[in-house]
């Protein structure tokens, strides 16, 4: 059946796919909480199965990313810049990638966290995941923003969401400082190589929030034009 002129005029909208991708990224990183709980409990069997789950979900997000990229030909006329859109997508994807790296590193080296840190660390991970959840909420506003032509009440709402994302991110920074100083205090008693990697894990978890914040600011830039 021949496609009619009118239906071929409409390209496939990138809005839903971008949102679906972010949803699947979020789905992937929330698994870090049960993962870390298993690690703290030194239940390596459970931790490994969680790590596999994270890797699998990361793969699913990757697939969605590739699909969206393929469906964005240059001839598409959109109210947002194609480049900005692709950059938001890349940022989103990096969050899932980071989660996979964190899980992989911990499993690979069987890193054991000092007991005094357990509670603070879980809180830290959860807060970083919150940052990404906030980015997801903002991305979910995209269809409403499209509807209003990026103006008015919707835009103000979106800006307040991004502001909240920024404040969550700075909270995670503070948590990070606290954990680092706790490790620093006990550094001398621990195995130096393990300490090195511990710092690395802390860094990477913090990057989840950083990346989420960058998704937010990229998103803002995309809408500002």
Partner 1 sequence: MTLEFGITFIVLACAFGFFMAWGVGANDVANAMGTSVGSKALTIKQAIIVAAIFEFAGAYLAGGQVTATIRKGMLDANLLSGQPELLIYGMLASLLAAGIWLLVASRAGWPVSTTHSIVGAIVGFAAVGVGIDAVQWGKVGKIAMSWVISPAIAGIIGYWLYISVQRLILNTSDPLKNAKIYVPFYIFLVGFVIALVTMFKGLKHIGLELSTTQNYVIAIAIGFVSMFIGMVAIKRLHFDPAADKDFHFTNVEKIFGVLMMFTACAMAFAHGSNDVANAVGPLAAVVSIVENGGEVAQKSAMPAWILLLGGTGILIGLVTYGHKVIATVGTGITQLTPSRGFAATLAAAVTVVVASGTGIPISTTHTLVGGVLGVGLARGMDALNMNVVRTIFLSWIVTLPAGAILSILFFFILKGIFS
Chain residues in the site for partner 1 (CB under 8 A): 1-15, 73, 75-79, 143-144, 146-154
The pair of three-digit structure tokens given for residue 94, joined into one six-digit string = 């990096």
Pick the closer one to partner 1 by CB: 148 or 191: 148
Kind plus residue range of the DSSP H or E element containing 159: helix 152-186
Pick the closer one to partner 1 by CB: 59 or 152: 152
State the nearest-atom distance from the C-beta of 223 to partner 1, in Å: 10
Pick the closer one to partner 1 by CB: 113 or 158: 158
175 neighbors 121 (Cβ within 8 angstroms)? no
State the nearest-atom distance from the C-beta of 36 to partner 1, in Å: 31
The pair of three-digit structure tokens given for residue 143, joined into one six-digit string = 């269809």
Integer CA distances (angstroms), 27 to 56, 96, 187, 224, in order = 11, 9, 34, 28
State the nearest-atom distance from the C-beta of 67 to partner 1, in Å: 15
Pick the closer one to partner 1 by CB: 102 or 158: 158
Report how far residue 121's alpha carbon sits from residue 123's, in angstroms, rounded to the nearest whole number: 5
State the nearest-atom distance from the C-beta of 78 to partner 1, in Å: 5
């Amino acid at each position: 059946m021949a496609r009619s002129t009118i239906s071929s005029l409409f390209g496939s909208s990138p809005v839903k796919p971008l949102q679906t991708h972010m949803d699947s990224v979020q789905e992937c990183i929330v698994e870090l909480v049960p993962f870390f709980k298993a690690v703290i409990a030194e239940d390596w069997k459970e931790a490994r199965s969680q790590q596999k789950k994270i890797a699998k979900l990361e793969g699913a997000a990757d697939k969605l990313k590739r699909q969206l990229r393929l469906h964005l030909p240059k001839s598409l006329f959109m109210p947002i810049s194609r480049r900005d859109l692709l950059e938001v997508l890349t940022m989103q994807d990096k969050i899932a990638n980071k989660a996979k790296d964190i899980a992989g590193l911990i499993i690979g080296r069987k890193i054991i966290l000092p007991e005094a840190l357990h509670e603070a660390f879980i809180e830290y991970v959860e807060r970083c995941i919150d940052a990404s959840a906030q980015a997801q909420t903002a991305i979910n506003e995209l269809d409403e923003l499209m509807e209003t032509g990026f103006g008015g009440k919707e835009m103000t709402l979106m800006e307040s969401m991004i502001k909240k994302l920024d404040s969550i991110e700075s909270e995670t920074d503070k948590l990070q400082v606290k954990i680092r100083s706790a490790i620093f205090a006990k550094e001398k008693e621990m195995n130096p190589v393990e300490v090195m990697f511990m710092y690395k894990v802390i860094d990477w978890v913090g990057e989840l929030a950083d990346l989420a914040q960058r998704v937010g600011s990229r998103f803002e830039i995309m809408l500002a034009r």
